[in-house]
Amino acid sequence: MNCIIVDDEFPSREELKYFINNFSSIKILDEFDDSLKALEYIEKNSIDIIFLDINMPKLDGMALGRIISRFPKHPIIVFITAYKDFAVDAFEIEAYDYILKPYSEERMVGTLKKLEKPAYQTCISNKITLWKDNKMIVMRILDISYCEANGHETLISVNGTKYTTNISITEFYKKLPKEFFFRSHRSFIINTEKIVEIIPWFNNTYMLKMQGESADIPVSRNNIPEFRTIMGI
């Protein structure tokens, strides 16, 4: 994997480079103290990860994050900042992580190790590899009941048992067969083959009961027309 660092503070860049070089195999391609130059670089090069400060001149890091999150294929975004106030905004654009300065070695090393884990791996056409208790578990895609956004990760539920993958729910959805899986809500993906009950809910929405699951899964108003078409209702 490769990365770039976008931070206008030289000491902060140096400290981050120390962690990356000494606690991971991630390759640093370049570093920037100017977010506009970083954007030009990202547009022309293939980047796996961007470590991005928020308080940047010209174009702040959150604005840059929003821009690159709209790219068809965009790097994983890890915000590195002294400000707590933007965490919600960061996860709305599905940032992988939000790390506060000054860096905690345990926190930084933990993030680097997770970044290097295989996030989602197709073994054969109908199977995937997910994580549970630091073990890789291979299972059939069609056994998945539903998926739920969980910060920078995605939770996958199979007959009431939860597994994880360290990519966003948007990226995970791209890998699922659309003839079976539907994005019912910003935070949920469902396997339509596992629906056992459709419950009318507030504001003309629905809640879904899934086979083998205790949680009820919402269908948002924006997705109701497509859901009705799929389900023939």
- Position 61 scores a pLDDT of 93
Q: What CATH number does the domain located at 2-116 have?
A: 3.40.50.2300
Q: Say yes or no: do domains 2-116 and 121-231 share a fold.
A: no
**Confidence (pLDDT) at 89:** 81
| Distance between CA atoms of residues 148 and 154, nearest Å | 6
Averaged confidence pLDDT in the chain: 89
Report the pLDDT averaged over residues 13-23. 95
Q: Would you say the pTM of this structure is higher than 0.75?
A: no
**pLDDT at site 151:** 82
Burial class for 177, CB neighbours closer than 10 Å (0-12, 13-18, 19+): exposed
CATH 3.40.50.720 fits 121-231, yes or no: no
Residue 124 has pLDDT above 50, yes or no: no
Model pLDDT for residues 41-64, shown as the tens digit of each residue? 999 999 999 999 999 988 999 999
pLDDT in tens, 85-94: 888 788 777 7
Domain edges within the chain: 2-116, 121-231
Burial 77-110 (b: 16+ CB within 10 A, else e): bbbbbeeeebeeebbebbbbbbbeeebeeeebee
At 144-199, the pLDDT tens digits run 999 999 988 899 999 999 999 988 898 888 888 888 899 999 999 999 999 999 99
The DSSP code for 61 is H
pLDDT (0 to 100) of residue 215: 94
Q: Is the pLDDT of residue 232 over 50?
A: yes
Q: Report the pLDDT value the prediction gives residue 159, as an integer from 0 to 100.
A: 93
DSSP, collapsed to helix, strand or coil, labels residue 146 as strand
pLDDT of residue 178: 85
Q: What is the pLDDT of residue 217?
A: 96
* Rg of the chain taking only CA atoms, in angstroms: 19
